Structure 1
Amino acid sequence: MAFPERFSNLPDYAFPRLRKLLDAHPPGGAPIAMTIGEPRHAMPDFVGPILAANLSGFAVYPPNDGTPELLAAIAGWIARRYGVAVAEDRLMVLNGTREGLFNACIALCPEQKNGQKPVVLMPNPFYQVYAVAALTVGADPVYVPATAANGFLPDYGSLPRDVLDRVAVAYICSPANPQGAVASKEYLADLLVLAEKHDFKVLADECYSEIWRETPPSGLLQVAAQQGADPERAVVFHSLSKRSNLPGLRSGFVAAGPQSMLRIRQLRAFAGAPLPLPLQRVAEACWQDEAHVTASRAQYQQKFRDADQIFAGVQGYQAPEGGFFLWLPVEDGEAAALKLWRETGVRVLPGGYLSRDAGGQTGVANPGKGYIRVALVAAQEETQRGLTLLRDCIYG
Structure 2
Amino acid sequence: MNPLIRSLHPYPFQKLADLLNGLQPNPELPLIKLTIGEPQHEAPSIVIDTLKKSLDGVSKYPATKGEARLRQAIANWASNRFNLTSLDADTQILPVTGTREALFAITQALVGEKDQPLVVSPNPFYQIYEGAGILAGAELHYLPCNAENHYKIDYKAVSDKVWQRCELLFVCSPNNPAGSVTTLEEYEYLINKAKQYNFTIVADECYSEIYFDEKPLGLLDACTQLGNPSFKNCLIFQSLSKRSNLPGLRSGFVAGDAELLAPFLLYRTYHGCAMPIHHQDASVTAWSDEAHVSLNRDIYQRKFDQVLEILAPVMDISKPEAGFYLWPKLPMNDETFCIKLYEEESVLVLPGSYLGRDVDGHNPGTNHVRMALVAEESECVEAAQRIARFINKHNKPL
- TM (norm. structure 2) is 0.94
Matched letter for residue 37 of structure 1: G
Question: Which residue of the other structure, out of 83, 102, 105, is the alignment partner of 2:104?
Answer: 102
Does the CA-based 8 Å contact 1:123-1:153 persist in structure 2? Answer: no
Does the CA-based 8 Å contact 1:111-1:117 persist in structure 2? Answer: no
Deviations 1:55-109 (A, max 9, x none): 1101111121111000000000011101112101211111110111111111122
Paired position in structure 2 for 1:353:
354
Deviations 1:233-260 (A, max 9, x none): 1110000000000000010000021110
Query: Helix, strand or coil: the match of 1:41?
Result: coil
Structure 1 alignment gaps of length 5 or more: none
Matched letter for residue 325 of structure 2: F
Task: Find out whether 1:386 has 2:383 as its counterpart.
Answer: yes
Structure 2 alignment gaps of length 5 or more: 394-398
Does the CA-based 8 Å contact 1:111-1:137 persist in structure 2? Answer: no
Deviation at residue 49 of structure 1 after TM alignment: 1.9
In 2: Cα distance, 1:160 partner to 1:187 partner: 15
Deviation at residue 151 of structure 1 after TM alignment: 2.6
Paired position in structure 2 for 1:164:
163
CA RMSD of aligned residues (A): 1.4
Using the aligned pairs only, state the percent identity.
38
Task: Find out whether 1:6 has 2:4 as its counterpart.
Answer: yes
In 2: Cα distance, 1:189 partner to 1:228 partner: 10
Paired position in structure 2 for 1:86:
87
In 1: Cα distance, 2:368 partner to 2:174 partner: 18
Corresponding pairs, count: 387
Most deviating of 160-169 and 4-13? 4-13
Deviation at residue 39 of structure 1 after TM alignment: 0.5
Paired position in structure 2 for 1:290:
290
Paired position in structure 1 for 2:321:
321
Aligned ranges for residues 232-243 of structure 1 at < 5 Å?
Answer: 232-243=232-243
Deviations 1:276-302 (A, max 9, x none): 110110000000000000000001011
Paired position in structure 2 for 1:58:
58
Paired position in structure 2 for 1:335:
336
Query: Helix, strand or coil: the match of 1:8?
Result: helix
In 1: Cα distance, 2:315 partner to 2:148 partner: 15
In 1: Cα distance, 2:388 partner to 2:267 partner: 48
The ranges of structure 1 where at least 4 consecutive aligned residues each deviate by more than 6 angstroms after the TM superposition are none
In 2: Cα distance, 1:13 partner to 1:347 partner: 16
Deviation at residue 197 of structure 1 after TM alignment: 2.6
Paired position in structure 2 for 1:127:
126
Matched letter for residue 45 of structure 2: D
Aligned ranges for residues 227-306 of structure 1 at < 5 Å?
Answer: 227-229=226-228, 231-306=231-306
Does the CA-based 8 Å contact 1:340-1:394 persist in structure 2? Answer: no
- Judging changes above 3 Å, is the alpha-carbon distance between structure 1 residues 36 and 395 closer, same or farther for their aligned structure 2 residues? farther
In 1: Cα distance, 2:5 partner to 2:144 partner: 22
Paired position in structure 2 for 1:149:
148
